[in-house]
Amino acid sequence: MIPESKKTAVDHALLAAFGTNTLDEIHELTAGLSTALVFRIIVQGKPYLLRIITRTDAMADPTLEYNCMKAAADADIAPKVWYANIEDRVAIIDFIEAKPFPMEEAKTKLPQLLKRLHSSPPFPFRINYLDKIGEFIEKFRADKLMPGDITAKLFDFYTQVKNIYPQNAEDMVGCHNDLKPENTLFDGERVWLVDWEAAFLNDRYLDLSIMANFLVKNEVDEKIYLEAYFGEEATEYQHARFFLMRQILHLFYFVVFTIVGKTPDKPIDPDMAVPDFREFHDLIWTGKLSLANMDNRLQYAQVHREQLQHNLGLKRLDEALRIVAGYQSR
C-alpha cells in the first residue's frame, strides 16, 4: 500500500515519532483532489494520519506546506504534528474523526476559526492570486475551451475588478486557500483545518469567500458570517470587498475546473444541464458529491459560471465596484 520507494522513509518516521515501525492497521483515504497519498494508520492502539507528498511544483512546495501546517498546529488550528520531514516528504499528524457539521453551527465557528488563522503570523508569499487567475484565463483562451462570446463578459469583469481591487498589506494574511468540507473537520466540539498544500500569503477575503460558497445563502447569513469573523458588524466597505472576492472566486473555479475537467474524448457543452448553485454545494457539504469525478468537475465549473453570470447583472455588483474603487481613491 505504501510505495516501495517510500517504505524506508515511513519506517524512519514511525520510529522517530513512536519508537516503533509496527502498524496495527493502515487504510488509504481517497477523498479530495490532492495528489498526496494519505493513510489512516493505527500505532499502539491510536489513530494517526500519514501523508506522503508525491509531487513538487509551484503549487505544491513541501517546505512551505510543512511550515504552514506546523504554524497552524502550534496555534491549535490544525491537528498536532508528530513528524514532518521535508526531504522525505512524509508527515504524521493526529487523526481527526470527523462528525457531521451542522451548517448553522458552522456559520459562526468557521469564520471565528479563520479569524484566528488570519491573526497568526503571516505565511510566506508564493503567488499573486489575481495575477494567477489571469494566467489561467490565458490558458483557457489558448486551449479554446469555449466560444469567446460565452466568456467575453466574464473575462471583461476580471479586467475591471483587477484594476480596482485593493492589495493592501493589512489584508494579506496567512490563508489556507482550499477550505472545502473535507479540509474543515468537525470533531463534535471544535473545527480543525487540514491539508496545507495550498497555503500561502493571500487576501483574507479569499478564505472567507471559499467557505461562504457553502455557508452564506442570503444577506442575513452574510451579516452573521462576517460579524462572527470581524467581531463586530461589518462595514459597507467590508461587505463590498467580500462580494467582489466572491465573484472573483466564481470566475477562478469556472476557469480552473473547466481546464482540469476537460478530457480529450469529450467536448465541453456550455449548455449542459447542471444543478443550481445552492444544491450543488449542499451535496458537497454533506459528502454526497465528489469533485474527484471528471464530469462533476465540469458541472462545478458551469455552476460557478452561471452564478457569476447571474451576479454580474445585479445592482449590488455596481455598488460594490463603486464602494471599493472609491475607498481606494481616498
**111 and 83 in one domain?**
no
Q: Do residues 161 and 318 lie in contact, with contact meaning Cβ atoms separated by under 8 Å?
A: no
For residues 114 and 215, state if they share a domain.
Answer: yes
**pLDDT digits 0-9 by tens, 239-293:** 999 999 999 999 999 999 999 988 777 778 888 888 899 999 999 999 999 998 8
Per the CB < 8 A criterion, the answer to whether 123 and 68 are in contact is yes
Same domain, 64 and 161: no
pLDDT of 327 > 90? The answer is no
Looking at every residue in the chain, the average pLDDT score rounds to: 94
From the list 260, 253, 225, the residue with the least C-alpha distance to 239 is 225
pLDDT at 292: 85
pLDDT in tens, 197-240: 999 999 999 999 999 999 999 999 999 999 999 999 999 999 99
Q: How far apart are CA 115 and CA 117, in angstroms?
A: 5
Q: Count CA within 13 A, CB hemisphere, residue 159.
A: 7
Q: Could you tell me the end-to-end alpha-carbon distance of the chain, in angstroms, rounded to an integer? A: 59
Q: Do 173 and 220 belong together in one domain? A: yes
How many CB atoms neighbour CB 97 within 10 A? 10
- Which of 38, 62, 94 finishes a domain? 94
Instruction: Read off the C-alpha cell for 232.
Output: 463586530
Q: Are residues 149 and 70 in the same domain?
A: no
Do 304 and 220 share a structural domain?
Answer: yes
The verdict on 199 and 264 lying in the same domain is yes
Q: Which of 65, 94, 123 is the last residue of a domain?
A: 94
Q: Report whether pLDDT(113) > 60.
A: yes
- How many domains are there within the chain? 2
Domain span at 8: 4-94
- Looking at the DSSP bridge assignments, the partners of residue 185 are 192
Query: 30: domain CATH number?
Result: 3.30.200.20
- 70-92 residue pLDDT tens: 999 999 999 999 999 999 999 99
Please give the pLDDT value at position 229.
Answer: 98
CA distances from 220 to 179, 181, 217, 233, 314 (A): 22, 22, 8, 12, 18
Q: Is the pLDDT of residue 330 over 90?
A: no
Do both 73 and 139 map to the same domain? no
Of the three residues 49, 67, 94, the one that is the final residue of a domain is 94
| Residue 54 vs residues 33, 197, 218: alpha-carbon distances, Å | 13, 12, 40
Residues 279 and 303 in one domain: yes
Side-chain half-sphere CA neighbours of 126 within 13 A: 26
Is the pLDDT at 6 greater than 60, yes or no?
Answer: yes
In this prediction, residue 58 carries a pLDDT of 57
**Together in a domain, 159 and 213:** yes
Check: CB of residue 212 under 8 Å from CB of residue 246.
Answer: yes
pTM of the shown model:
0.94
pLDDT above 70 (res 60): no
- Cα-based distances in Å from 104 to 5, 100, 157, 194, 229: 45, 12, 33, 21, 15
Q: List, as one string, the DSSP characters of 163-227.
A: HH----GGGEEEE-----GGGEEE-SS-EEE---TT-EEEEHHHHHHHHHHHH--SHHHHHHHHH
The CATH number that applies at residue 230 is 3.90.1200.10
Distance in angstroms (rounded) separating the CA atoms of residues 200 and 176: 7
As given in the structure block, the three cell numbers for residue 5 are: 520507494
- Average pLDDT over every residue of 96-102: 94
Same-domain check for residues 142 and 33: no
- pLDDT band of residue 32 (cuts 50, 70, 90) is low
Same domain as 107, residue 84: no
